[in-house]
Amino acid sequence: MTLTPPGTGRKPLHNGDSVLITRVWVAGVGMTPFGIHEAKSNHDLARWAAREALADAGAAVGDIQIAFYGSATHGPLEGQYSVGGQIAVRGLGMQKIPVYNVENACATGSTAISLAAMAIRAGEADIVLALGSEKMNIGDRERTMAVFNSGYDVSDPDALNRVLEQLGGVVDDSSVGMRSRFMDIYASWTRNHMRLHDTTQEHLAAVASKNHAHSVDNPRAHYRKPMTVEQVLAGRALSYPLTVPMCAPTTDGAAAAVLCSDEGLRKLSSARPVRLLASVIASGSDRDITTFDGHIAARAATLAYERACIGPEDIDVAEVHDATSFGEILQTEMLGLVPAGAGGPAAARGETSLGGRIPVNPSGGLESKGHPIGATGLGQVFELTEQLRGSAGPRQVEGARFAIAENGGGFHRGEEAAASIIILGGR
């Protein structure tokens, strides 16, 4: 007997005489507005998003059997190490259940989803909460920026400089002001891609302009102001070729999702579920870092497509990790949505805009929606769930059936340290 999971049904997930596939559903989602929340703590934001997700799923606090709580900066910026998740969900009234604290760089939120799905497939629970929250604007920008200085191998800082020089050469940045070290990392990646594929600064600006335009219709976005390509290019320079409007802001916010099995879904009669077809977490590998062959996201995407039994040609809408404009260019290529080297030109032609061939980041992406690290991956799932439900309003991608989210974090030996790919399908 062969069981074929939903998707296009082109490939079986497993073969054998006794195969049981536990389906996983996203039953409810919640998300605070992303931005600056001076009067809110990390826990305030987390509970806000969790309550929204519970209400959206038609779930009561007592229905949640396990919670996964993600935050990358809660400890260093607010001093809440170790038990942030237990405190956050106890404030919601959740007691006695297992609570797991998750940290996986900028892929923290999507990692919480992956762990929640594994718990369901393992039969540990029928209804699980994945929650991510971040309070990054604490009135001390230097402390906030310092958090990013731990997202690579701190035991050998000289190695980072050597890798960045290998990727992008040496540039004079003596006139550039305060920035995250990751802007230098992204700039080196970008210059390498420019060398390989003739990507231009105008291509980067086209991505940023597109995402700023998308965010105008997103009431939960950090920035909601359109910008032309010319305005993006004229923005304050960061590490060449990046300008400020090409980069994600420092953002506070939280997002959450209630995941469940078929059995759990039967308990949530008012839910509007979408299918979680695949959730893959990957780490890096030793390879030639001056090319993008064997890149971490491409490997993870290949596995996710196999598990979901679809291909990149089936994807209708995507949310990708555009911590900078180049992030979107790279990831559309790594996900197979455009050919290698075509990410920039595709954006300039409007292929990745709403109404284009494959809309990318209809939420506004990290560049405009914002990037509260622990909540970012869950925020992507919030947007894609809305898209698959047909309830994204002016941002709606017509007829969306399959959606993909890519969320990466950290840096190690020339590529992201962690990568997540999530594929969702309409019911």
pLDDT tens track for 135-177:
999 999 999 999 988 899 999 989 999 999 999 998 877 677 6
Respond yes or no: is residue 295 known to be catalytic. no
Query: What tens digit of pLDDT does each residue of 163-214 get?
Result: 999 999 988 776 776 788 899 999 999 999 999 999 999 999 999 999 999 9
Classified as helix, coil or strand, 328 is helix
Q: Which amino acid is at 299?
A: R
Domains observed in the chain: 2-138+252-276 (3.40.47.10), 141-247+278-425 (3.40.47.10)
Own/partner pairs for 388-394, CB < 8 Å, 24+ apart?
388/274, 388/424, 388/425, 388/426, 389/272, 389/274, 389/426, 392/362, 393/217, 394/217
Closest CA to 261 of 129, 363, 371, 125: 125
User: What pairs with residue 406 in β-bridges?
Assistant: 421
Judge whether residue 2 has pLDDT over 70: no
Q: Which burial class, exposed, middle or buried, applies to 230 when counting CB atoms under 10 A from its CB (0-12, 13-18, 19+)?
A: exposed
Rounded Cα distance, 258 and 159, in Å: 41
The yes-or-no answer on residue 371 being catalytic is: yes
Whether the pLDDT of residue 16 is over 70: the answer is: no
Confidence check: pLDDT of 246 > 90: yes
pLDDT of 217 strictly over 80: yes
The share of the chain scoring above pLDDT 70, in percent, equals 94
How much is the CA Rg of the chain, to the nearest whole Å? 20
Are 292 and 193 in contact by the 8 Å Cβ rule? The answer is yes
Region of poorest pLDDT, from 7-11, 311-315, 335-339, 420-424: 7-11
C-alpha 333/C-alpha 339 separation (Å) is 6
Residue of 193, 214, 295, 371 with catalytic role? 371
Nearest to 410 by CA among 83, 69, 103, 80: 103
Tokens of 414: 């020339």
Q: Are 304 and 280 in contact (CB under 8 A)?
A: yes
Contact 134, 251 (CB under 8 A): yes
For residue 312, which of 23, 8, 5, 6 has the smallest C-alpha distance? 8
Whether the CB-CB separation of 283 and 418 falls below 8 Å is answered with: yes
Query: Quick one: which of 325, 352, 422, 410 has its CA closest to 381?
Result: 422
Answer whether residue 21 shows pLDDT above 90: no
Active-site option among 43, 106, 321, 412: 106
CA gap 136, 309 in Å, rounded: 38
Q: For 84-97, what is each residue's pLDDT tens digit?
A: 999 999 999 999 99
Is residue 305 predicted with pLDDT exceeding 90? yes
Q: Which helix (H) or strand (E) holds 276?
A: strand 274-283
Torsion sign over Cα 372, 377, 382, 383: positive
| CA dist., res. 23 & res. 275, Å (int) | 8
Please check the confidence at residue 51 and state whether its pLDDT lies above 50. Answer: yes
Q: Which of 392, 396, 373, 372 is nearest to 382 (CA)?
A: 392
